Amino acid sequence: MNYYFSILYRIIPLGMALVSFFAGYLVLKAGHNNDGYLSGPILISLGVICLALFSTAATIIRQIIKKYNKFYEVFLPLFGYVAALICCYFGYKFIHFYDYPYHFVTGHVILGVGFISICVSTVGLSSVKFSLIPGNSASSGNQCPSGAYGKGVRNILILIPVICACVLWIIGFILLSDYKVPENFVAGFVSLGLGAICTSLIGLVVSIAKQVRNEYTNLDKKIWPSLVLIMGTFNVILGILILIMNKHSYAIAPGYVLIGLGMICYSISSKILLLAFVWKRESKLAGKVTLIPIFTALFCLILSSFLVIIYYPTNIMYIPDRILIGLGTICFSLFSIVSILESATSK
């Protein structure tokens, strides 16, 4: 990888984090009839996912350019986990210092974003031995290399996103058990969408961990990309059904946000597909999957602009419009990760 491109791929998630933070600050400062107090903090929290993606990108890139050492092996994953835990803390504070319904919704969404950031940081942690993957892929056998982490570490890495996904699915279904309450309806469905993203990240962690240990099989090539595509489609279809079947105004935000969360799942699928395509073989499709996060990012930004134009000057789309901007920054940050993976695994 060209050194200047390595800098660019690290700048992209950091730049997207700053965009999300600044946009969230402006929305929060504007207020706008409590809509800003809901969407502003959520926009800021979405930037934390970009920070976790930066830690993952830097972990892989420094191994590619041979500038990786014990300090970065500890610091970079720790950076992502600290940012994620801070996000979870503020989500908890919003929920338990409940004054208004939008505090309740904001808290659950920020908490879910924190769980996603934990999963993304785990992707970075599982990548600390990423340099072993090209050699494993080139080998004809399935013997675990001497420098790989053990089975116990692999199982712990996989367990982290599994726990995060299960917690979010459980929270979502508990809230939806009383779906007639508007804040439960919104927070419940968005929690399910965030849980689908954590479920998708299970596939990414498993794929990296198994390839590091040279345990990746043909069955893995089918299961994990399919899982992520199912989760993305689940989010998109659920969002469309909410928009079509529910006539309440409070259903608009979770409907469009779920569609945006589906785009993030599709962006994650590009990385899992890339790892599957190039394992033990060469593939002409490997270079094409890097376009998926670009298309999903553009979709989120175009949909955001579309909502503003169609519903101007009404304010009914204020919340989903702003949040879609943050989801677009995450998709574009994921472009840097899949580009790094393509560079690291290409011959």
Instruction: Give the number of residues written for the chain.
Output: 347
Percent of the chain with pLDDT over 70: 94
What string of DSSP letters covers 11-72?
HHHHHHHHHHHHHHHHHHHH-TTTHHHHHHHHHHHHHHHHHHHHHHHHHHHHHHTT---HHH
Domain count across the chain: 1
How high is the pLDDT of residue 32?
A: 61
The per-residue pLDDT for 282 is 74
Write out pLDDT tens, residues 199-248: 999 999 999 999 999 999 999 999 999 999 999 999 999 999 999 988 88
Nearest to 49 by CA among 170, 197, 166: 197
Query: What is the CA 51 to chain-centroid distance, rounded?
Result: 11
pLDDT at 38 over 70: yes
Euclidean distance between CA atoms 267 and 317, whole angstroms? 24
268: pLDDT confidence band, cut at 50, 70 and 90?
very high
pLDDT at 280 over 90: no
Task: Decide if pLDDT at 42 tops 80.
Answer: yes
| Candidate ranges 111-120, 131-140, 281-290, 336-345; pick with highest mean pLDDT | 111-120
Supply the pLDDT for residue 286.
67
Q: What is the pLDDT of residue 247?
A: 80
Element (H, E) at 182: helix 182-212
Mean predicted lDDT score pLDDT of the chain: 90
Question: Within 13 Å of residue 159, how many CA atoms lie on the same side as its CB?
Answer: 6
Which range has the top average pLDDT, 1-15, 112-126, 135-149?
112-126
**Among all chains, which residue has been given the structure tokens 């503020």?**
90
Q: pLDDT-based confidence at 63, cuts 50/70/90? A: very high
Please, which pLDDT band fits residue 333 given cuts at 50, 70 and 90? very high
Q: How much is the pLDDT for 346?
A: 63
Instruction: Kindly tell me if the per-residue pLDDT of 140 is higher than 70.
Output: yes
The string of pLDDT tens digits covering residues 170-185 is 999 999 999 889 899 9
21/138: higher pLDDT: 21
Query: How far from each other are the two terminal CA atoms of the chain, in whole angstroms?
Result: 11
Range of the domain at 133: 3-137+146-345
Instruction: Please state, in angstroms and rounded to a whole number, the distance separating the CA atoms of residues 257 and 316.
Output: 14
Closest of 145, 114, 113 to residue 130, by C-alpha: 145
User: How many other β-carbons are positioned within 10 Å of the β-carbon of residue 222?
Assistant: 11
Residue 113 in tokens: 């974003």
pTM, rounded to two decimals: 0.94
Residues of the chain with pLDDT > 90, as a percent, come to 67
